[in-house]
Amino acid sequence: MSSSATTHSLTGKVVAVTGAARGIGLATAVEAHRRGATVVLGDIHAPEVQAAAASLGARAHAFALDVSDPESFGAFLAGAAKAGPLDVLVNNAGIMPIGAFLEGSTDRYRRAVEINVLGCIYGTHAALPAMLARRAGHIINVASTAGKAPVPGGMTYCATKAAVVAFTETARVEYTGSGIAFTCVLPHFTNTDLIAGTTSTKGIPIVQPADVATAIVDAIERPRPDVYVPKRIGTILATQPLLGRTVRDSVNRRLGAYSTFLDFDAQQRQGYDDRISRS
Ligand SMILES: NC(=O)c1ccc[n+]([C@@H]2O[C@H](COP(=O)([O-])OP(=O)(O)OC[C@H]3O[C@@H](n4cnc5c(N)ncnc54)[C@H](O)[C@@H]3O)[C@@H](O)[C@H]2O)c1
């Protein structure tokens, strides 16, 4: 999977997805499965991920996985290998604690770094050796547009996603010519529990998990370094730094991008917060 010009059919491929019990991860597994892949779903919430895989039927497997634990990741990939050599790993698991920085706990921030950042690092470290031996494979890391622009109320989340952007881009360069493709996925607001209680930026529609999934699976078929969803957010984020900080801050403030993670409905977010306290 080294050339971006090459098209790779999903038929017969083994695709592992982390954080696949729901949301973008589940939608990605469903789409890869629909296009003919054998899918291996991992999630910290074992009963939910088992049920998700069972609903797909044949060519779908599920394992309990804590991406922040290298041993757990190793066991997950060993389980996946029973379905055949791993072609694609989608490091998707993530949590988003938001709110005024000092109101959040350092425990929750540590967990966000462990899951969002170390999850990608551990997954890549565990999956790469076998891929390098075959000179084929594709590692897809799900970052966020929050990794490219400041979102007040999301200091730690933005930092974790910026780390995923840098990690993936550096991996792409370090492993050029190895046969391994690296892709960074940068979705904007996507309709999952993760954004519960928030309001999206004015003028940019909230996308569906299936939209992100389609973009990810398209990138498996035709590898590329970045996948922005929706596509035009990539152009916006590339242009913004050229405006200078004063103009950028004023535009983003007017679009509501600087208040969305500060002024949200905490009651609507309670269910999500309770769930990530168990992640
Ligand atoms: N929804 C959005 O607006 C949005 C936008 C940009 C990026 N993202 C990113 O997309 C990814 C998926 O988010 P989502 O919106 O589908 O969220 P979600 O909460 O619906 O799903 C995340 C999944 O990750 C799992 N998970 C959490 N901790 C885990 C761990 N330690 N080990 C294994 N699995 C774990 C959860 O159980 C859950 O099933 C995340 O990395 C998120 O940061 C989401």
Selection from 239, 242, 131, 147 nearest residue 185 by Cα? 147
* Distance (Å, whole) CA 204 – CA 190: 11
Report the alpha-carbon angle 57-128-4, nearest 5. 80
Please write the tens of the pLDDT for every residue from 60-89: 999 999 999 999 999 999 999 999 999 999
As a whole number, mean pLDDT of residues 214-239 equals 97
> What is the domain-level CATH number for residue 117?
3.40.50.720
Residue 9 falls inside a structural domain = no
Residue 2 pLDDT: 43
* pLDDT score, position 13: 97
Q: Is residue 88 part of a domain?
A: yes
Catalytic pick from 122, 157, 175, 258?
157
Residue 5 has pLDDT above 70, yes or no: no
Tell me the whole-structure pTM to 2 decimals: 0.97
- Ligand 1 atom 20, closest CA: 23
The pLDDT score that the predictor gives to residue 121 is: 98
CA dist 276 → 12, 44, 111 (Å):
34, 10, 9
Does any domain span residue 5?
A: no
User: Which two tokens mark 209?
Assistant: 């998990």
Range of the domain at 229: 14-276
Does 3 fall in a domain?
no
Nearest atom, ligand 1, residue 69 CA: 31
State the distance from the centre of ligand 1 to the C-alpha of 134, rounded, in angstroms. 30
Is 157 tagged catalytic? yes
Instruction: Decide if 218 is inside a domain.
Output: yes
C-alpha 19 to ligand 1 mean position (Å): 6
* pLDDT of 4 above 70: no
Residues 156-204 pLDDT 10s: 999 999 999 999 999 999 999 999 999 999 999 999 999 999 998 999 9
What's the CA-to-centroid distance between 249 and ligand 1, angstroms? 28
Q: In whole angstroms, give the CA distance from residue 276 to residue 215.
A: 26
Are residues 185 and 219 in contact, defined by beta-carbon separation less than 8 angstroms? yes
Residue 7 forms part of a structural domain:
no
**Distance between Cα 116 and ligand 1 center (Å):** 9
In this prediction, residue 75 carries a pLDDT of 98
Using the predicted structure, report yes or no on whether residue 6 has a pLDDT greater than 80. no
pLDDT over 70 (residue 1):
no
Q: What is the mean pLDDT of the chain?
A: 96
Whether residue 53 is contained in a domain is answered as yes
Per the model's pLDDT, the better-predicted residue between 173 and 8 turns out to be 173
Cross-sheet strand order for the sheet of 60-64: 60-64, 38-43, 14-18, 88-91, 137-142, 180-187, 226-229
Among 96, 157, 228, 260, name the best residue to mutate to test ligand 1's pocket (greatest count of ligand atoms within 8 A of Cβ).
Answer: 96
| 198 touches ligand 1 (CB under 6 Å) | no
Residue type, 265: D
Number of domains into which the chain is organized: 1
Residue type, 36: G
Tokens 């989340």 — which residue?
Answer: 157
Asked if residue 78 belongs to a domain, the reply is: yes
Tell me the average pLDDT across 9-16: 97
**Residue to probe by mutation, ligand 1, list 95, 121, 161, most atoms within 8 Å of CB:** 95
